[in-house]
Amino acid sequence: LQTKRDYLPDRIFKVVFVGDSAVGKTCFLHRYCHNQFKFLFNATIGIDFIVKTI
């Protein structure tokens, strides 16, 4: 049985979301990575990141 630390990923992708304010970039990422939908978010000032292992 392999644990997460016993293998190296085949590929690593870094994705950047850029766009107008208040269009749902943070909401989209949160939904994809955590499978939860939040209606209210504070505005992201600067940078934010989320990590998901597939």
Whether this prediction's pTM lies above 0.75 is answered by: no
CB atoms within 10 A of CB 35: 7
Supply 46's token pair.
């600067």
What local confidence, expressed as pLDDT, does residue 40 receive? 79
**Those residues with Cβ within 8 angstroms of residue 44's Cβ, 6 or more apart along the chain or in another chain:** 25, 26
1-49 confidence digits (pLDDT tens): 556 567 787 888 898 999 998 888 888 888 998 898 887 778 888 888 8
- Domain layout of the chain by residue ranges: 1-48
Q: How many residues does the chain have?
A: 54
- Residue 22: its H or E element: none
Query: What is the Cα–Cα distance from 24 to 40, expressed in whole angstroms?
Result: 10
